[in-house]
Amino acid sequence: MLKYILRRLILAVPVLLGVSVLSFFIISLAPGDFLDYYRLNPSISAEQVQTLERQFGFDKPIVVQYFKWLGQVLKGNFGYSFVYHIPVFNLVWRRLGATLLLSISTMIFTWGIAIPLGIYSALHQYSFSDQAFSFFAFIGISIPNFFFALLWLFMAAKTGWFPIGGIISLNYDQLSFWGKIGDYLWHVIGPVVTLGTSGLAGLMRQMRGQLLDQLRQDYVLFARAKGMPESNVIYKHALRNAINPIVTMFGYSLSGLLGGAVLTETVFGWPGMGRLVIEALTSQDLFLVMATLLLSSLLLIIGNLIADMLLAWVDPRIRFRLR
């Protein structure tokens, strides 16, 4: 297992390198750069603009700019943010915690509800509860995240039950330990429900379909014919085979949460990576954009690795191959 993990981590290096090459050159194809604001400002002379170009390396060819940036990244220096005027690593590190808290909370909400509902719906196929869950699942899949976020904010503003933005209250520092946890949960419930609704609905339908497919297999009929208890047939045999495709989706959901959080964090004013990506793109903050893209790619690689390890845990055949 350790050799497999090391091999996957080594293979991740050329993947990240390829992502950095494509991202850097695609971003460079966009018209203009961050210094256009200074070029259009009549109070800033051309000599000052040229000094800034030399400082940030914009006077060099794109290839030279890339290898200069890559050399600094290999030394642990991800560059300097043009907008925030601080090192990119420090800026990303500050925002990463808020996004990870939101993403982990969303995954617990989504997977903790979707899997049991999917199993229940499969075991009670065509019942009233199954049809009700399917009805609400289709609604959840159909509503875009940003529209659901606007509906939630409208409800929160009208009722006052939930905050309409931010991550903590103004009196957060005066609260007790449990009060701080409660304050965070009060603020996070809106973004979590918004971000997790579509994923919950899709995951529930996937779990239901996979389990129904396994319950129709010959090995399930054979186990029932032998007189095996129904709970063993379902949870020990059918469910273990049905969960494999669901576990595979985990790797993509980890990175997908970062992408889906862009709109959600913007609407809710959540100080995470999503808002940072939008601000970096609109201001053409090259080094900040590159850092966020590499981070998203790294999360996708880590998520897929964790998914493969979980598959090895639930499926003995895959575990044998990993060894």
Distance CA 253, CA 250 (A): 5
What are the boundaries of each domain within the chain?
23-88, 92-271
DSSP string, 267-322: HHT--SHHHHHHHHHHTT-HHHHHHHHHHHHHHHHHHHHHHHHHHHHH-HHHHHHH
Which tens digits make up the pLDDT trace of 175-189?
Answer: 887 888 887 888 888
Of 137, 155, 248, whose CA–CA distance to 199 is shortest?
A: 137
Distance CA 146, CA 198 (A): 11
Three-point CA angle 162, 163, 166, nearest 5°: 145
Residue 252: pLDDT band (50, 70, 90) is low
Is 39 strand, coil or helix?
helix
Residue 264 pLDDT exceeds 70: yes
Arithmetic mean of pLDDT, 160-183: 79
Distance CA 314, CA 112 (A): 18
Q: What are the distances in angstroms from CA 293 to CA 82, 95, 122, 139, 306? A: 17, 14, 39, 31, 20
Residue 170: Cβ-neighbour burial (10 angstroms; 0-12, 13-18, 19+): exposed
Residue 320 pLDDT exceeds 50: no
Which tens digits make up the pLDDT trace of 42-99?
Answer: 777 777 777 777 777 777 788 888 888 888 888 888 888 877 888 888 888 888 878 8
Cβ atoms of residues 211 and 242 within 8 Å: yes
Give the residues across from 271 on adjacent strands. none
* Secondary element (H or E) of residue 266: helix 239-268
Residue 37: pLDDT band (50, 70, 90) is low
Q: 246: Cβ–Cβ under 8 A, 6 or more apart, which residues?
A: 115, 203, 206, 207, 210
- 222 or 50: whose pLDDT is higher? 222
Distance CA 102, CA 266 (A): 13
Of 214, 195, 206, 180, whose CA–CA distance to 140 is shortest?
A: 195
The pLDDT of residue 322 is 47
Of 216, 204, 165, 201, whose CA–CA distance to 186 is shortest?
A: 165
- 32 or 238: whose pLDDT is higher? 238
**If you classify domain 92-271 with CATH, what class do you get?**
mainly alpha
The pLDDT of residue 256 is 62
Residue 321 pLDDT exceeds 60: no
